[in-house]
């Protein structure tokens, strides 16, 4: 096993992660000699767990909740998108430094613009949430030059903070949920944790424009409350975040191995499995 490169996903919890399954499929498809495991890190021992992994010869890590901010501080160098997000979900070793990247946004836009064939350029986008998930996707979304990107969050100051940080990249604004009444959007993205709790953000009726896409970053069994709401409100399409999960994994794989795997077969494989 000495010639097999080691990778892993690290988080707490982590047992539910589909990353080992996804990367095993990528490795088979591309003929890469690698092993990918899941590491449960104690909440107060992230750095020590990463150091132990590196000492074992680990080449790269996917980082999931709650460690993306710690991973950002741990990295010696950040890519532009990780710097903008101030959150890291991919670490690469094997240099004289630790590289930190954030592939979430690349995964999202590749799923939306590539797999779903939904044009982001000149679109009116509503992004719900102002946490780490939102920060990770703002720059890649704005790089596709939407007509406007509105951030809505329960805490207006957090939305304003993101507006100020990302305004140099494009037309980004922030508002309260109450301010959405009377507005319409071509793409509505849920980056909040509401779906995990079986809740629906306080969206008003009528926000979906004709032909609109509703996209929930979460995925699970059946439609989330947000996607159910979108269907009832007449959104043309409503999609969960499984494609984003696989596309961001493919971006990490490319960073580590220099090969971009085909994602369509893996998306089809996971869609066909019970979740």
DSSP track, 86-149 = T--SEEE-SSSS-EEE--HHHHHHIIIIIIS----TT-EEEEE--SHHHHHHHHHHHTT--SEE
Q: Which two tokens stand for residue 235?
A: 């959104």
H or E, element range at 160: helix 156-166
Closest alpha carbon to 208 in 229, 238, 236, 184: 184
Does the annotation count 68 as an active-site position? yes
Cβ atoms within 10 Å of 1's Cβ, excluding its own: 6
**CA distances to 10, 21, 72 from 81, in Å:** 20, 26, 11
State how beta strands 90-92 and 208-216 pair.
unpaired
Q: What does residue 263 show for φ and ψ, rounded to 5 degrees?
A: -95, -25
Secondary structure letter of residue 203 according to DSSP: P
In the block, residue with structure tokens 């009377």: 182
Choosing from 68, 73, 197, 262, which is the catalytic residue? 68
Contacts of 129 (CB under 8 A, 6+ apart): 151, 153, 190, 191, 192, 193
- What are the catalytic residues? 68
């Amino acid at each position: 096993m000495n010639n097999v490169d080691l990778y892993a996903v690290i988080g707490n919890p982590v047992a539910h992660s589909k990353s080992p399954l996804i990367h095993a499929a990528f490795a088979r498809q591309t003929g890469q000699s690698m092993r990918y495991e899941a590491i449960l890190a104690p909440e107060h021992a992230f750095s020590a767990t990463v150091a132990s992994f590196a000492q074992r010869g680990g080449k790269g890590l996917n980082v999931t909740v709650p460690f993306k901010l710690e991973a950002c501080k741990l990295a010696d160098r950040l890519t532009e998108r990780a710097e903008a997000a101030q959150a890291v979900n991919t670490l690469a070793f094997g240099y004289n430094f630790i590289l930190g990247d954030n592939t979430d946004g690349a995964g999202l836009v590749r799923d939306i613009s590539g797999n779903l064939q939904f044009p982001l350029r000149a679109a009116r986008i509503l992004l719900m949430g102002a946490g780490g998930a939102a920060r990770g996707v703002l720059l890649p979304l704005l790089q596709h030059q939407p007509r406007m990107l509105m951030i809505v969050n329960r805490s207006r100051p957090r939305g304003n903070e993101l507006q100020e940080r990302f305004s140099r990249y494009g037309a980004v604004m922030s508002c309260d949920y109450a301010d959405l009444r009377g507005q319409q959007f071509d793409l509505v993205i849920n980056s909040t944790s509401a779906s995990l709790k079986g809740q629906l953000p306080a969206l008003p009726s009528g926000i979906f424009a004709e032909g609109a896409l509703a996209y929930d970053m979460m995925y699970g069994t059946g439609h989330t409350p947000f996607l159910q709401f979108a269907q009832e409100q007449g959104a043309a399409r409503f999609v969960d975040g499984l494609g984003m999960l696989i596309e961001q994994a493919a971006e990490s794989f490319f960073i580590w191995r220099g090969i971009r795997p085909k994602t369509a077969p893996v998306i089809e494989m996971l869609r066909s499995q019970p979740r």
